Every structure is written in C-alpha cells, then in structure tokens.
C-alpha cells in the first residue's frame, strides 16, 4: 500500500516536471526521501553515536572493567562502520539499496541485542563489530547519498535536515538509558533500542530510493530545460563524475579525506568522553545525559546553518566557519568543568559544529568530485573518520588519567580540529569534473533543441 502510494506520488511529480518549464516550487518528491532518511538517521546515527557515552557508565560498572577497556568498544564500532562503508556503494550496485537496508536492520539491531545479553567484555566487542557493520549498511554513505543525489541547488539544506535527526536520536537514548539504569535493569535499554531500530530500518528499506533518475525524475525536480541552463545542474541531471580510481589520484579527494579524518579525533574524542568528564566533576548521569542532549540541540542549529551556508557559498567555507567555533568551544570547556551553567553555555559552540562534517564533506564529495560514483567514493572519503574516531575516544580517556587531565586532552583535540579546518580550506573543485559538467550541459541543450 505504501509502495503504491509512493509510486503514484512520484509519477505525478514526473508528469508535472514534463508539463512545465519551471519548477520553482520548494516542494519536490525529493523531500519525501529526505523525510524518510531523517527517520532512518535517528536510528543508525542518533542511536549509534549517542548511546555509547551514556551506556558506557552502567556497562563499566556491570563488568567491573576499566573505562578504557569499555571505551575500546566504541573504537571497534567506529572501525567496523568505517571499513564496511568502503563496500556500501558496491553493495548497492549488486543488491540495490533495499538489500543493503535489510541487512542493516538485522545487524544493527542484533548488535544492541548482544549488548543486552553480554556478561563478558569480549562480548561487548563482538556486539560493536556487528552493530558497526549494520550501521554502515544503513548509515553514513546512504544517508549522505540520498539528499546529494536528489538535490543539487538545495543539497546543503537537504543533507543538513537528514543529519539533524541525531538530535531526536540523542533525546531517545538520553531518556531510555538513564531510566533503565535507574530502575536497576540497564539491559532493557539496548533491547528497546534494538526493537525500534529493526522496525525503522525495515520500513526504510521499502521506502527509500537511491537516485531520482530511478523513478524518472531529476534532482531538485528540475526539467531538462532548467538543467541545461547551468553546467553543475546538467552534471547532476546526467550523473557525471569521476570514478573512484580517478578520484583517488586527485588532491581534491585527499584534502577532503584528511580533513574528515582529523575531525574524528577532534570531535568524537571529547564528545564520547564528556559524560565521564561531567560525572567526574561531581554531577550525576542524568545531568550528563542532559548535557549530551544540549550539545545535540546545538548541533541541529549548526547542521541547518551549514546547509544554508553550503547552498550559498559552498561546503569549504561553511566547514571552516563552523569548526573555528568548535576550537573556541573546546578551549572554553577546558576551564569551566566545575560550573555547570558555564559548561552548558560553552558547549553550544562545540555543539554547533558537531557533525556538521557529515553535511559539509558529503556535499564537497558530490560537488567537487561528481555525483555519479558518490557511494563508491564517499566510502573511501569517510574511512579516515572512523579510524580517527577509534583513536580519539580511548586517547582522550587515557590522557584524562594522566597529569594533563581532561583539560590537556581537550586542548590536544582542539589542535586536530584546527588542522581539519585548514585541510578543508585547501579543497578545490576538480578540473576534470568541470569539463564533464560543461559537456553534459551541451548534450542537454542539444536534446532539448531536438525536442
């Protein structure tokens, strides 16, 4: 029934596109895809990233393990997600988006089930391998690809809306995990998250479409006449772009990839350790959960701001602006840890930049390397991020136990954020892609003239 309704809607959208010369209305069928991707992102990104910092506390107590041992679980999760992301584009080509999403439903929810049943530390690691692979198959590459494939002029705000789903995801885990822990049965939290994740991901498998061309549409709901008028729009309509092999030979790819990698330490390192930092300063777990939600709310503002800025001046400048604020925020947090009011206030600057990288780097990949092989290329662009996530989380935990403390750890992270910002500033659009887009525009103009 839902499938029939969706096809009817996109069919009507195709008729409107064919019958009109203009498509100036803001609403296009692509926004339906954005809405569905938003709900999926609540699970694979919101649950996947925000649950660990809160769940780590009761897991550490239940296992009687060292915090660094449990923190290794998130590193394993990040690495599994990162390396699995390398093949997501190829998997979509072989078994389609639906097949990838169904595999994600089984594995991602299965990882949470294992966490709820675990009694040994090695079982935590197994759970995060399974969950990480599941997250990749329904996460970063797909959730970044859909708005970038369905939009050209509005790809920034479309991508930002999808990634804003991390906020409701943080609210859900911020309520479920502390409530279950307070009741004396924290294991119920991963069980509940597993059930929600499975239902959402299965539904997403049947509702999401990878590219508008699959259903006879063009990005932004454009007509061919509109696409032919501008080279970049023509490139999006014709699906031009560098192959993965060609992209790997460009400085454009490497500057984006390096910037994405460095932010892993600078962003996730402190973020996943903030609850321990707050609890260590004498506040309880509920305050830590509220703090994480406050950062996430600031992140929504930052993501939406990054989307607007991207659509105005491009992802390079947007990223540099927002992550300069993150550096300032981290430096302030170093000095106000015992004052909860100032701590929350300082976290806004860090939160505004939090995960804006997902918006900026996906837009940069599509805009500067082309949309045709987005899935195959973005998996490689993304790889450095989870590797550095895996390094950053235990690194901050380890440094916090030395004489440097959390202040020293956060200061080191600020240096990595600054390095990421500089690398992104060096990115330029690939010249070969510019030529492809110009050729696509000429082809479209010829096709329109022939009609």
Q: Name the residue with tokens 């995801």.
A: 169
State how far Cα 40 lies from the chain centre.
Answer: 11
Closest CA to 246 of 149, 370, 126: 370
pLDDT tens digit string along 184-210?
Answer: 888 888 899 999 999 999 999 999 999
Reading the block at residue 135, the tokens are 């997250």
Query: Residue 435 has what pLDDT?
Result: 93
State how far Cα 302 lies from the chain centre.
Answer: 13
Q: What's the chain's length in residues?
A: 451
Query: Residue 24 has what pLDDT?
Result: 43
> Residues with Cβ < 8 Å from 220, sequence gap 6 or more?
23, 28, 30, 150, 151, 152, 153, 154, 233, 236
Radius of gyration of the chain (CA): 22
pLDDT tens digit string along 82-101?
Answer: 899 999 999 998 999 999 99
Question: For the chain, what are the domain ranges?
Answer: 29-220+231-450
SS3 12: helix
Cα-flanking dihedrals φ and ψ of residue 442, to 5°? -65, -40
Report in angstroms the alpha-carbon separations of 354 from 220, 233, 263, 327, 359: 27, 29, 10, 11, 10
Reading the block at residue 193, the tokens are 């998250």
SS3 97: helix
Query: Residue 319 has what pLDDT?
Result: 94
Q: Region of 72 please: left (phi>0), alpha (psi -120 to 50) or beta.
A: alpha
Q: What sign does the CA torsion over 153, 156, 159, 164 have?
A: negative
In this prediction, the residues of the chain whose per-residue pLDDT falls under 50 are 1-24
Report in angstroms the alpha-carbon separations of 158 from 40, 63, 145: 14, 42, 11
pLDDT tens digit string along 345-386?
Answer: 878 888 888 778 888 999 999 999 999 999 899 999 988 888
Cα-flanking dihedrals φ and ψ of residue 66, to 5°? -75, 145
Helices marked H in 354-373 — which ranges? 356-369
Quote the Cα angle for 181-185-190, to 5°: 80
pTM assigned to the model: 0.81
Query: Residue 23 has what pLDDT?
Result: 45
CA distance 54 to 75: 15
CA distance 208 to 97: 8
Query: Residue 3 has what pLDDT?
Result: 47
Given CATH 1.25.40.80, say whether it is the number of domain 29-220+231-450: no
Query: Residue 337 has what pLDDT?
Result: 65
Query: Residue 160 has what pLDDT?
Result: 92
């Amino acid at each position: 029934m839902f499938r029939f309704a969706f096809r009817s809607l996109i069919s009507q959208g195709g008729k409107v596109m064919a019958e009109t010369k203009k498509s100036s209305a803001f609403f296009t069928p692509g926004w339906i895809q954005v809405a569905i991707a938003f709900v999926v992102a609540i699970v694979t990104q919101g649950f996947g990233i925000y649950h660990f910092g809160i769940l780590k506390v009761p897991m550490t107590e239940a296992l009687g393990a060292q915090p660094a041992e449990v923190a290794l679980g998130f590193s394993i999760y990040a690495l599994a997600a990162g390396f699995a992301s390398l093949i997501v584009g190829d998997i979509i080509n072989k078994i389609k988006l639906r097949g990838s999403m169904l595999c994600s439903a089984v594995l991602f929810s299965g990882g949470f089930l294992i966490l709820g049943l675990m009694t040994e530390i090695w079982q935590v690691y197994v759970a995060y391998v399974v969950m990480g692979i599941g997250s990749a198959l329904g996460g970063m590459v797909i959730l970044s690809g859909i708005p970038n494939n369905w939009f050209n002029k509005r790809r920034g705000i479309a991508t930002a809306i999808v990634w804003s789903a991390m906020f409701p995801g943080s609210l859900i885990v911020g309520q479920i995990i502390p409530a279950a822990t307070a009741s004396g049965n924290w294991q119920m939290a991963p069980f509940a998250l597993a059930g929600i994740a499975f239902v959402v991901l299965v539904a997403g498998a049947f509702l999401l479409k990878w590219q508008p061309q699959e259903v006879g549409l063009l990005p932004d709901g454009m007509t061919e006449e509109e696409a032919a008028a501008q080279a970049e729009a023509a490139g999006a309509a014709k699906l031009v772009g560098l192959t993965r092999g060609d992209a790997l030979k460009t400085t454009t790819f490497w500057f984006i990839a390096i910037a994405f990698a460095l932010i892993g330490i600078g962003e996730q390192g402190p973020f996943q350790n903030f609850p321990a930092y707050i609890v260590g300063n004498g506040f309880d777990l509920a305050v830590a959960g509220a703090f994480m939600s406050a950062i996430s709310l600031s992140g929504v503002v930052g993501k939406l701001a990054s989307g607007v800025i991207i659509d105005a001046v491009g992802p390079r400048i947007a990223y540099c602006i927002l992550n300069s604020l993150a550096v300032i925020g981290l430096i302030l947090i170093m000095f106000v840890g015992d004052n909860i009011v100032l701590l929350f206030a300082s976290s806004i600057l860090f939160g505004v930049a939090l995960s804006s990288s997902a918006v900026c780097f996906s837009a940069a990949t599509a805009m500067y390397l082309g949309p045709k092989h987005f899935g195959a290329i973005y998996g490689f662009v993304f790889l450095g991020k989870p590797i550095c996530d895996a390094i950053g989380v235990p690194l901050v935990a380890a440094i916090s136990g030395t004489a440097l403390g959390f202040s020293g750890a956060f200061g080191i992270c600020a240096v990595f954020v600054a390095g990421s910002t500089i690398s992104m500033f060096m990115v330029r659009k690939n010249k070969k892609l510019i030529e492809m887009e110009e050729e696509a525009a000429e082809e479209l103009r010829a096709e329109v003239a022939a009609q």
